Amino acid sequence: MTILIIAYLGGVLTILSPCILPILPFVFARTGGPFARSTLPMLAGMAASFALVATLAALGGSWAVRANEYGRLAAVMLLAAFGVSLLSPRVAYVLARPVVDLGNRLTTSAGSARSAPATASSLVLGAATGLLWAPCAGPILGLVLTGAALQGANFETTFLLFAYAAGAATSLAVALLVGGKVFAVMKRSLGVGERIRQCLGAAVLAGLAAIALGLDTGVLTQLSYASTVSFEQAVLDRFHERPAAGAPSKVAKRPFRSELPAESRAPALNGAVEWLNSAPLTNEQLRGKVVLVNFWTYSCINCIRTIPYVRAWAEKYKDKGLVVVGVHTPEFAFEKRIDNVRQALGGFNIGYPVAIDNDYRIWRAFENSYWPAHYLIDAKGEIRYHQFGEGNYPQTEKAIQDLLREAGSETAASAPVVPDAKGAEVGPDMGNIGSGETYLGYRRASNFASPEGLQADATYHYSFAKPNLNEWGLSGTWTVGAQQATLTQPGGGIAYRFSARDLHLVLGPGAAGKPIRFRVTIDGKDPGNDRGSDIDASGNGTVTATKLYQLVRQSADVAVRNFEIRFLDRGVEAFAFTFG
């Protein structure tokens, strides 16, 4: 009985939370009707549908999540029609006509129940509102949902969730009774009933927009935490008195439950052609661990800039239950060579397991589309968080900490890592990037400025033209293939007019595998302090492996510059420019 009262009081306190705001317009839109036939059925429908959906969601099955998404979509459509009907009497007449006809037939056949259509419509609107309602999970709702997740779906679970929803409905009913009287006075004194109706319609549509944009589960959730958690904790403390010092506790410590949603079941890590730094790992071996799956490829600049963070997380949380798995899925053909990947692991100081996904089997199993991409899998094998591309490092680490605590680790919240990044690993200067990734192979080449034009799969002699911003050209004898340009005679070069702090170029020594010397100039001069990490101050460097080379890092104000690289030896392969 105690937990039932706590659940009810937790629902009552929901009225103080910003997370109630998106559904208030739907509720207040019924203030014009009788309480028993309009407001009460709506609140009852809302409580019942929320309790049912929350019970199913507590099971954690992906089918329940999908079913709820379909239900939310239907609810959005229904309530959008309701909002439009408030704005337009004509639309209201068209939408209400079938219900009125049904009510007339029921009245004729039963000789009573004239309130049936109004009651039924209120009940349906309430059920739709319950599907959309996403209350903030404070201590009380967290306690109820944790118990539901541990015990499964049963009568007690549903009853507790219904008690919580009933508490919210009670506080809403009180607000409606007060608000209804205020609205009635306004209508009598100002004669603005139609305007009020239209304002409510606009509020309903605004609430739907907030729900569709995720504000009800994002911004409002964060705002609400500070506003209600102290009240809810006070309720818990009132009903569960703290034991005296030295006395054994009668209340077991509640397991931590992260608010991260279950996105889907994690697919198997089958299909790798080889594993580096580890024997092959299976989902069964990883059960009970928190797993960070990192899709990457070793010459991708965006992937390179995330490596220091992934490396730091692997080290910081390896004894807390985190397993990092790098899934190396190649973009270029040279990235399929396992020796190249093995050499890259040494260069990046990567010691965690890496699956070589040359056939894209793991990539397709995750339905992934991005380099880099991070997926966090909880101890039960559910994907709970993802991050596509660079950035959001503190949020990702917070998600790691949450899932480790949920798995039973004593991991405490701590400051995010500040990794030791060097060279190309340093984050980009986003405010000064005016140039984008540029491929040299004809399949994806663009902005080619040499006057001869790009000749596919043919050995051709090119010459420099004066490139405009973000244009590039070749000089010397080159063969341009689908993915790369290959120099066939010594002395050839590449020019690019760019605007960014950093310039990188993916280069390889070609089939011969012999070192290839080169020299870089910036605006026709030695780079000096503007040199990248792979050349010296005079611009000299050597291509020894197929990888990304950092050739320019402007040390002062970023300006538009003319980059040129000349190769002293034949055979170099050039793949793509990237910037940072």
Q: What is the full DSSP assignment across 171-228?
A: HHHHHHHHHHHHHHHHHHHH--HHHHHHHHHHHHHHHHHHHHTTTTTTHHHHHHHHHH
- When pLDDT is cut at 50, 70 and 90, the band that residue 452 belongs to is very high
CA distance 466 to 4: 78
For the ranges 43-57, 146-160, 210-224, 408-422, the one whose mean pLDDT is highest: 408-422
Q: Is the pLDDT of residue 197 over 50?
A: yes
Higher-pLDDT residue of 358, 84: 358
**CA-wise closest residue to 32 among 168, 208, 201, 209:** 201
Closest listed residue to residue 378, CA positions, set 355, 413, 409, 417: 409
Query: Order of strands across the sheet with 264-265?
Result: 264-265, 382-388, 373-377, 290-296, 322-328, 354-356, 274-276
Q: Running DSSP on this structure, what letter comes out for residue 50? A: H
Q: Which of 182-191, 292-301, 405-414 has the highest mean pLDDT?
A: 292-301
Q: What are phi and psi of 282, to 5 degrees?
A: -115, 165
- Higher model confidence: residue 158 or residue 56? 158
Question: For position 162, what pLDDT does the model report?
Answer: 75
Contact between 280 and 291 (Cβ < 8 Å): no
The number of beta carbons lying within 10 Å of the beta carbon of residue 539 is 23
Q: What is the pLDDT of residue 207?
A: 62
Write out the E strands in 337-427. 354-356, 373-377, 382-388
Provide the pLDDT confidence category of residue 249 given band limits of 50, 70 and 90.
very low
Q: What is the pLDDT of residues 498-511, one digit of tens each?
A: 999 999 999 999 98
Q: Report how far residue 307's alpha carbon sits from residue 319's, in angstroms, rounded to the nearest whole number.
A: 20
- Whether the predicted pLDDT of 522 surpasses 50: yes
Query: Up-side HSE of residue 414: CA atoms within 13 Å toward CB?
Result: 12
Q: Give the separation between CA 528 and CA 526, rounded to whole angstroms.
A: 6
Say if residue 28's pLDDT is above 70.
no
SS3 of 26, please?
Answer: helix
In whole angstroms, what is the distance from residue 550 CA to residue 527 CA?
12
| CA-to-CA separations, 132 to 17, 44, 46, 137, 281, in angstroms, rounded | 16, 15, 9, 15, 40
pLDDT digits (tens, 9 = 90+) for 90-125: 655 555 455 445 434 433 333 344 445 567 777 776
What pLDDT, on the 0 to 100 scale, is given for residue 170? 84
From residue 480, alpha-carbon distances to 440, 492, 504, 516 in Å are: 8, 13, 19, 18
Q: 485: which strand partners?
A: 480, 574
- Identify which of 181, 143, 178 has the alpha carbon closest to the alpha carbon of residue 163: 143
* The residue to which tokens 């000096």 are assigned: 528
Q: Report d(CA 255, CA 253) in Å as an integer.
A: 6
What single-letter DSSP state applies at residue 255?
P
Mean pLDDT (the chain) is 78
Q: What is the pLDDT at residue 137?
A: 45
State residue 414's pLDDT score.
85
Residue whose pair of structure tokens reads 């992260």 in the numeric block? 258
Q: Lowest mean pLDDT: which of 37-41, 145-149, 327-331? A: 145-149
Q: What is the mean pLDDT of residues 420-425?
A: 88
